[in-house]
Structure 1
């Protein structure tokens, strides 16, 4: 069947490889949108960041050069400062808490902030909970972090987080972490189960401690120009399919995390659950104080999220 003349050919950005939960959900979104709009919107997902790195892709989507993408809120911070709140350690008490917040009224506030920067957030994906792993010992309390050289993503909040626990934060490219753990340049890093497993970091870091200190959502975002070019009927279809895609992604993420956990466990990694996270959370007080001092206008947003714990 030939597409109608007015068909929109959408290009979508994705950092992940084929088969990854986000990729499966995005490709399902694209397929369902094309089917339900009877070809008025023909969407294609480009995987493995072939259309540029994440900060570049966010800019391309903002200016309409790309039509949609699945973006993490970590790299969104420099563009939409409200999203930095989502990078505060322990802002969410659990993954379920994050879902409740982002699917509700507070999530709408983040969507409004993104819309001001020409990004229409239609649904929220999961990127799991990040926990510490290292080559030395289980981490059960902040005292166990003291003196460890821990790799973090390049964000001052993550540096402050590790230093508040007494560790030495080391921002480093992800691709360098395996060798650095192996040679002792690093003692540890932090990430979710699927990344810990797929990066093979579990081969060189035998202790995984479930601190869940960072739970950072991702958006399925549409370029404002692409969104506004749709009829109200097609907007409704696209929104519905974005929400369905998020539900699919979250379920696949849970299953993938479970599988990754089992793989590293079978390989001999010692996993310890940190049941009481209060000692870690208390150490974050200066991180929060510094953040609010620099961003007083975001204090209410922080308070509202924490009040729903």
Structure 2
């Protein structure tokens, strides 16, 4: 009996020791994971002084500070790692690009709900847009990208898109018959057609030459892009209709995200969230500078006083495409 009792006690002691050793090994492994040095490559299509790049840099700085340099985010501006579509594919596949800043328009094939932002005149102003983006519904659009092997970390400001042309453009009827470059977006194509113009899809890098040669008459974008791409030098008419507000998104590959410890994931997310304020501030300054530069260059800038006329023209587009976004649209209409 004594011998059996001794064996039982010895077995229990061994079990306790094994459990303790296992727990210790698990903790050590977690610490090792948190202590590992990591390099993250972040692709940025815009120039080094552009607001989104400023946001990227702030994000990288905050990550470096929080990890004492253990996690190093390398920002590659100016499209040096490829255009937006190619780097999104690399991020999704877990390739050599770990992160990117990309327009939400480029993500509709991964999450159709991102197509919401293509709807014309969806938001009445920036305040309403950001109230939505910061809401649970807005944040869910970011989280849903995980089904496509990406993590949406934060939205960045991108202003409002408006039309600019080499031809007179001070009212809606001036758009009739104009050839306008647009992004590859079914809703945008329909919108431009509804406004009386002829949409032409072409790469962004070809727009300047196409405006020069008359291949196209017009294009559409926000003021900082109109400025930084030098389109204002060949398109001297800018009408501020603000037809779309398409936010930018800071993305990380799910493959890279899953390599990080929970503690490091929190650092990455917190840094991304905190970098938004820097990007928005940089955007406001850049936009003010761009508007002053465009005006000084002799561009005729027209503010739309009666936006209802434009909204009425695209109403069929909302009715046709809005059903898939009905809950989100209804929610946006409740926001101030």
User: Which residue number corresponds to residue 116 of structure 1?
Assistant: 147
2:335 corresponds to 1:308? yes
2:243 corresponds to 1:213? yes
Decide whether the 8 Å contact of 2:131 with 2:335 is kept in 1: no
User: Which residue number corresponds to residue 271 of structure 2?
Assistant: 241
Of stretches 22-31 and 225-234 in structure 1, the one that deviates more from structure 2 is: 225-234
Q: After TM superposition, where is structure 1 displaced by more than 4 Å over at least 4 residues in a row?
A: none
Match of 2:51 among 21, 27, 35: 21
2:102 corresponds to 1:53? no
Structure 2: segments with no counterpart, 5+ residues: 1-33
Compute the displacement of 1:139 (Å).
2.9
> Would you tell me which structure has more helix in proportion to its own residues?
2
Give the distance between the partners of 1:257 and 1:269, measured in 2 at CA.
15
Match of 1:105 among 136, 148, 154: 136
Match of 1:31 among 61, 64, 72: 61
Compute the displacement of 1:132 (Å).
0.8
Which deviations, in whole Å up to 9, do the C-alpha atoms of 1:70-109 show, x marking residues without a partner? 1111111112111111111112222222211111122122
User: In 2 relative to 1, CA 182–53 (structure 1 residues): closer, same or farther, beyond 3 Å?
Assistant: closer
User: Which residue number corresponds to residue 151 of structure 1?
Assistant: 181
User: Which residue number corresponds to residue 298 of structure 1?
Assistant: 325
Give the distance between the partners of 1:284 and 1:114, measured in 2 at CA.
29
Q: Secondary structure in 1 aligned to 2:170?
A: coil
Compute the displacement of 1:58 (Å).
1.3
Match of 1:63 among 93, 114, 119: 93
Decide whether the 8 Å contact of 1:82 with 1:113 is kept in 2: no
Compute the displacement of 1:124 (Å).
0.6
Give the distance between the partners of 1:180 and 1:49, measured in 2 at CA.
21
2:169 corresponds to 1:138? yes
Compute the displacement of 1:5 (Å).
6.6
- Using the size of structure 2 for normalisation, the TM-score is 0.84
Compute the displacement of 1:207 (Å).
1.3
User: Which residue number corresponds to residue 127 of structure 2?
Assistant: 96
Q: Secondary structure in 1 aligned to 2:89?
A: helix
* RMSD (CA atoms): 1.9
User: In 2 relative to 1, CA 166–297 (structure 1 residues): closer, same or farther, beyond 3 Å?
Assistant: closer
Compute the displacement of 1:130 (Å).
0.8
User: Which residue number corresponds to residue 287 of structure 2?
Assistant: 257
Compute the displacement of 1:217 (Å).
0.5
- Equivalenced residues, count: 302
Structure 1: segments with no counterpart, 5+ residues: none
Give the distance between the partners of 1:214 and 1:149, measured in 2 at CA.
19
User: In 2 relative to 1, CA 40–107 (structure 1 residues): closer, same or farther, beyond 3 Å?
Assistant: same
Match of 1:78 among 102, 106, 109: 109
Of stretches 277-286 and 220-229 in structure 1, the one that deviates more from structure 2 is: 220-229
User: In 2 relative to 1, CA 288–55 (structure 1 residues): closer, same or farther, beyond 3 Å?
Assistant: same
Match of 2:303 among 251, 273, 287: 273
Give the distance between the partners of 1:307 and 1:12, measured in 2 at CA.
36
Larger radius of gyration: 2
Of stretches 206-215 and 118-127 in structure 1, the one that deviates more from structure 2 is: 118-127
Compute the displacement of 1:44 (Å).
1.0
Decide whether the 8 Å contact of 1:138 with 1:207 is kept in 2: yes
Which deviations, in whole Å up to 9, do the C-alpha atoms of 1:225-247 show, x marking residues without a partner? 32233233222222221112111
User: Which residue number corresponds to residue 173 of structure 1?
Assistant: 203
Q: Secondary structure in 1 aligned to 2:180?
A: strand
